[in-house]
Amino acid sequence: MEKNTLLTISRQTGYSISTVSRVLAGKGREYRISDKAIAIIKKCAADGNYTPNLIAKGLRMNKTDVVGLLVPSIANPFFASFSSIISSGLRKAGYNIILIDSMETEELQTEAIDSFLARKVDGMIVVPVGTSPQLLESVSRHTPVVLIDRYYPDTRLPYVCTDNYSGGYVATSHLISRGYRRLLAIQGVQSSMPNRERIRGFHAAISAVSSSGMSELVTGDDFSEKNGYDKTMQAFRSGFRPDAIFAFSTTIMLGSIRAIKELGLRIPDDVAIISFDDNEFLDYLDPPVTRIAQPMSEIGHQATDILLKMMADPEVYGDCPPQILIRPSLVEGRSC
**CATH for 25:** 1.10.260
Q: Which pLDDT score, from 0 to 100, does residue 200 have?
A: 97
Considering the domain boundaries, does residue 261 fall inside one? Answer: yes
Same domain, 157 and 304: yes
Cross-strand partners of 186: 219, 247
Considering the domain boundaries, does residue 1 fall inside one? Answer: no
Q: Which pLDDT score, from 0 to 100, does residue 1 have?
A: 39
Same domain, 200 and 150: no
Considering the domain boundaries, does residue 59 fall inside one? Answer: no
**CATH for 217:** 3.40.50.2300
Considering the domain boundaries, does residue 43 fall inside one? Answer: yes
Q: Which pLDDT score, from 0 to 100, does residue 60 have?
A: 56
Q: In one letter, which amino acid is 190?
A: Q
Same domain, 199 and 140: no
Q: Which pLDDT score, from 0 to 100, does residue 225 have?
A: 96
**Residue segments in the chain with a per-residue pLDDT below the cut of 50:** 1-2
Q: pLDDT tens across 272-291, in order?
A: 999 999 988 899 999 999 99
Asked whether the beta carbons of 185 and 216 are under 8 A apart, the reply is: yes
Domain count, the chain: 3
Considering the domain boundaries, does residue 288 fall inside one? Answer: yes
pTM of the model: 0.79
Cross-strand partners of 66: 96
Same domain, 172 and 318: no
Same domain, 158 and 302: yes
Asked whether the beta carbons of 98 and 71 are under 8 A apart, the reply is: no
Considering the domain boundaries, does residue 170 fall inside one? Answer: yes
Same domain, 95 and 137: yes
Same domain, 154 and 220: no
Same domain, 86 and 139: yes
Pairing of strands 244-247, 182-186: parallel
Same domain, 105 and 135: yes
Q: Which pLDDT score, from 0 to 100, does residue 210 have?
A: 67
Same domain, 154 and 302: yes
Q: Which domain holds residue 143?
A: 64-162+297-327
Considering the domain boundaries, does residue 28 fall inside one? Answer: yes
Considering the domain boundaries, does residue 174 fall inside one? Answer: yes
Same domain, 230 and 309: no
Same domain, 82 and 107: yes
State how far the Cα of 82 lies from the Cα of 46, in Å rounded to an integer: 37
